[in-house]
Structure 1
Amino acid sequence: MRVVPNERVLTRDDVGARPPDSGSESPRTIRRSEIIAFALISLLIITVVAVLWAAKAFFLPIVAAFVIGTMLSPAAGFLERHRIPRALSAVLIVSAVGAGVTFVIGLISSPLMEWSTRLPELGARLKDKLYIFDRPLALWRDLQGMVGGSDALPPAPFQVPKLEWVQPTLEFLSPTFTEFLLFFATLILFIASWRDLRRALIMTFTGHDSRLRVLRSLNAIEEHLGSYLLTVTLINMGVGTATGLICWAAGMPNPAGLGALAATLNYLPIIGPVAMFAVLALVGLVAFSTIGGASIAPLAFVGLTFLEGHFITPTIIGRRLELNALAVFISLAFWTWLWGPMGGFLSSPLLIVALILRDHLSSSNGPQLP
Structure 2
Amino acid sequence: MGARIASCACGRDIVRVLPSERLIPGNSEGEPLPDSHSELPPVIRRTEFVAFALAGLLLIAVVTVLYVGKAFFLPVVMAFVIGTMLSPAASFLERCKVPRALGAVLIVIAGTAVVAFAVALIASPVMEWSTHLPELGAQLKDKLHVFDRPLALWRELQAMVGGSEEFPSFQLPKIEWVQPTLEFLSPTFTEFLLFFVTLILFIASWRDLRRAMIMNFSNHDARLRTLRILNEIEVHLGNYLLTVTVINVGVGVATGLICALTGMPNPAGLGALAATLNFIPIIGPIAMFAVLVMVGLVAFPTISGALMAALAFGGLTFLEGHFITPTIIGRRLALNALAVLLALAFWTWMWGPMGAFLSSPLLIVGLILKEHLLPADSPQLPQA
Fold equivalence (TM over 0.5): yes
Residue 280 of structure 1 contacts residue 297 of structure 1 at CA under 8 Å; is this kept in 2? yes
The whole-number CA distance in structure 2 between the counterparts of 1:221 and 1:240 is 28
The 1-side partners of 2:304 and 2:263 are apart by: 13
Residue 169 of structure 2 aligns to a residue whose secondary structure is coil
Structure 2 match to 1:240: 252
- Equivalent runs, 1:1-370 vs 2, <5 Å: 6=27, 20=34, 26=40, 28-140=42-154, 151=164, 154-364=166-376
- Contact 1:240–1:259 at 8 Å: present in 2 too? yes
**How far, CA to CA, are the matches of 2:199 and 2:133 in structure 1?**
38
Shift of 1:201: 0.7
8 Å contact 1:247–1:255 — kept in the other structure? yes
- Measured in 2, the distance between the counterparts of 1:213 and 1:141 equals 68
Distance 1:204 1:61 in 2: 26
Give the number of the structure with larger relative contact order, counting CA–CA contacts within 8 Å between residues 6 or more apart: 1
State the distance in 2 between where 1:311 and 1:140 align: 41
Note if contact 1:134-1:158 (Cα within 8 Å) is conserved in structure 2: no
CA distance in 1, matches of 2:140, 2:305: 14
Amino acid at match of 2:120: G
Return closer, same or farther for 1:88/1:278 CA change in 2, 3 Å cut-off: same
C-alpha displacement at 1:155, in angstroms?
A: 2.7
Give yes or no for contact 1:70–1:225 (8 Å, CA) kept in 2.
yes
Percent identity (aligned): 74
RMSD of equivalent CA atoms: 2.2
Tell me, which stretches of 5 or more residues in structure 1 are unaligned? Answer: 8-18, 366-370
For residues 165-197 of structure 1, the C-alpha deviation after alignment (integer angstroms, 9 at most, x for no partner) is 111111111111111111111000000000000
User: How many Å apart are 1:158 and its aligned residue?
Assistant: 1.8
Decide which structure has the larger Cα Rg and report it: 2
TM-score by length of 2: 0.86
Counterpart code for 1:117: T
Alpha-carbon distance, 1:292 to partner: 1.0
> C-alpha deviations, 1:255-296, integer Å up to 9, x for none?
000000000000011000000000000000011111111011
Q: Which residue of 2 aligns with 1:16?
A: none
Give how far 1:206 is off. Answer: 1.8
Q: 1:275 is matched by which residue type in structure 2?
A: A
Aligned equivalents of 1:57, 1:364: Cα separation in 2: 38
Q: Which residue of 2 aligns with 1:14?
A: none
Whole-angstrom distance in 2 between the partners of 1:108 and 1:101 = 11
Equivalent-residue separation in structure 1 for 2:186 and 2:159 (angstroms): 44
Distance in 2 of aligned mates of 1:98 and 1:260: 15
1:182 maps to a residue whose letter is L
| Deviation readout 1:328-367 (Å, 9 max, x if unpaired) | 11111110111111101000000000011111122437xx
TM-score (norm: length of structure 1) = 0.89
